[in-house]
Amino acid sequence: MLRTRWWLAAIIPLLACGGPPSPHVAQSSLPASTAASGRGIAFSESALAQRDESALVPIDRFDASLGDRASATTLLAFVDPSAEEASNILTISRAVEKDVPTVRIVWKLLPAKDDAPGHLVSATAQAVFNLGGHDAFFKFIDEIVKHKNSKGTVLLSMAATASGVDKDALARERLSTRVLEKLERDQKVAAGLKITSAPEVLVNGINIRTDLPAADIAGYVKEQAEVVQKAGTLYADLVKAGRARMEADRQKKDESEEELPYNETLVWNVPVGTSPVSGPKDALVTIVDFADFECPYCAKVEPTFAEIRKTYGDKVRFVWKHEPLPFHSKAIPAAMLALEARAQQGDVGFWKAHDAMLGNQEHLDRDSLLGIAEELGLDLEKVDHAIETNKHKAEVDRDLALAQAVEASGTPHLFVNGRRFVGAQPFEKLKPVIDEEIAHADALLKKGIKKNKIYDHILATAVAEALPVFVSADVPDSAPRKGAGKVVVQEFADFQCPFCARVKPTVSLLMRRHSADVQLVWRNLPLPMHPDAPRAALAAFEAKKQKGDVAFWKMYDLMFRGTSKPNGLSQDALIGYAKESGLDTVAFKAALEGNTHQALLEADKAEADRLGFNGAPSFLIGGYMLSGAQSYRTFEHLLDYAKKHPKPEKDIVKIVDVAPGSGKEIKTGDEVMVHYTGTLMNGTVFDSSKKRNEPFAVKLGAGQVIKGWEQGLVGMKAGGKRILQIPPKLGYAGVQKGQIPAWSTLVFEVELVSVK
């Protein structure tokens, strides 16, 4: 018997019909063209698919495909058709179908976990395939990509049009056993490949990047197909060999990595603050856990914590810091429950809620959270209000700001007396560290440090937070603007960039919520791998020239919509957008063909080069730098910072003397010999003379090292140890150096060996 699915219960109210029909489609309800097979696909295609069902990356008869279905070369995509990224995977699929006809393109459906509308779209797509076949499936996907967020009768109408099957039959089919089991099979295949979310694309079993132009990906697939055709190898054998190569490469990479990918000795300034605590205030060791109630790895580390409690008792205390990840929709409601439990019952209530939620992460929906609250004896009305209004948002935001300051990205992120450990670490990994910290604490006690002040004393010599990087960048008169706020947000981006398209709703939300504070400015940064981006930039400039900023922003919207379509930024498409925007299309075409605004485009690119921006999107928020399609919380946090600090703090090297030393003191002009370990603010070690066992010799004042070293080493004494936190402008600024990204704050542990 098919077990009840949470998402099936959730989508039934969204269906166009009444109550749920029988899970089986009556043979008589199928159109005549599909009744022979009962599945909307021919028996010959079933046989081809059946051939590959036993492969390491299996393909079955219910997988929709394009191209040559008998081919050994396969591009297999895991896709959530309701997500924005589906348009990019469709573009790639169509490009491969067109340019490499000897290849088959196969789609498996992987809607986001706990996303009922997404599961509804996927179930409808599978129903379209079952009843209408391959072409119908991709016709439906074309419509889904064009009309996002369609649901109810609109969704069924689109499916009926694509498949040629009536709505009632489709509504029954998407609730059928075979649709539900197919979606679960796809989930299991993805889980077996350690794929947790869509999109993910594999070519003959090997994962490939999807952020490259579709033409480049098609070229790669064509090369693979030609090799396979000569070898005459079957798909199952190709996948087996491909997965084996990937595993061998992974092991080789693991073996070649530094022994210390993270600096496990450096101490980071992670205060307890007002966070929930389990354990005595005078514990010798404090473990701060940045975590998320929906994160499976946060649950996975709990047995480690239980073993620590059992082994060390009151010598260790635990602190919870909230870091709900953007793709975990239930993490914030769960955090609200935990904090409301604390408000009503203190830390004891918090940890009871914590245990209940991490012990049953499959049930964090609203009703389940209220059920937990009832079991804990909480006031349900207050809990419901806290979840509905995000009552404790300020506390979560404080934790998120601290996580950003110490670059605790990803959960769980642990700090053991300030020492960083990433991920669900086993007890065996943390035990020697805890033993070291207990010995360190005992030594401090002997020096007279009070037991309840141990952690504060340790943090006094810890690495401080990394401040946002400020750079001055004037806005040219030619740049399009929107809004009139005092905080200028300059976006350096590319109309063909999928990540620029992805961040567009985030920027729009920022503008809506902070309309009185923000002014948005567009700067062009067309990337080399996006051939249509320069032409789109020129089109946008011409729109502004003809009808001002209003016309520019209309073109902006039209072009980003066009990015998801084949040839959506071609000259003909751009002229179409110009006509839709009410522009003079003759002058518009002449401007494109004559590169009329090339000088403006080159000026934007030159400014991006000066700032060290080599990726899109990149932002200046009130002059403070932000790279990539970050979460809304990150944008809002930096906006708040920019409002509070319209003028940046002075760039200085922060110095902590761990051991003062007793030998000769360094002065500018001295020749010194040092050992050092260089670390990024996220804990990654990028260089270490100790690792090489080669002390570093340098003459201060001779321009041989970065400015931060010139300033930070002066005053050290031989035998001393010092920590330097160097801001980007005193480091490498906007230049990438090896593993060091541009605009990085650097942390060096320096030991002075000798002075001449």
Q: Residue 559 contacts by C-beta under 8 Å, 6 or more apart in sequence?
A: 495, 536, 539, 540, 568, 569, 574, 577
- Residue 748 known to be catalytic: yes
686 is catalytic: yes
Distances 732 to 511, 611, 746 between C-alpha atoms, Å: 33, 12, 9
696 in catalytic set: no
Whether the bond into 741 is cis, omega within 30 of 0: no
Catalytic pick among 62, 290, 350, 748: 748
Q: Which of 434, 624, 732, 740 is catalytic?
A: 732
Of residues 208, 438, 575, 706, which has the active-site annotation? 706
Q: Which element (helix H / strand E) includes 534?
A: helix 533-563
Which of 130, 160, 148, 172 is CA-nearest to residue 35?
Answer: 130
Residue 328: burial class (beta carbons within 10 Å; 0-12, 13-18, 19+)? buried
**Is 670 in the active site?**
no
For residues 342 and 543, give the distance between their C-alpha atoms in angstroms, rounded to a whole number.
55
- What lies within 8 Å, CB to CB, of 90 at 6+ separation is 138, 141, 142, 145, 564
The number of residues in the chain equals 756
Angle at 720 between CA 716 and CA 721, to 5 degrees: 100
Q: Out of 144, 687, 723, 740, pick the active-site residue.
A: 687
The answer to whether 495 is a known catalytic residue is no
Closest Cα to residue 674, out of 713, 644, 631, 726? 713
* Separation in Å, CA 196 to CA 89, 189, 331, 669, 696: 17, 10, 17, 55, 44
Torsional sign, CA 589, 593, 594, 598? positive
Contact 596, 542 (CB under 8 A): yes
Mark whether 235 is an active-site residue.
no
Catalytic residue selected from 312, 427, 632, 686: 686
- Characterize 231-242 residue by residue with b for buried, 16 or more Cβ atoms within 10 angstroms of its Cβ, and e for exposed: eebebbebbbeb
Residue 699 forms beta bridges with which residues? 671
Q: Spot the catalytic one: 235, 635, 676, 726.
A: 676
Which residues are marked as active site? Answer: 676, 686-687, 706, 732, 748
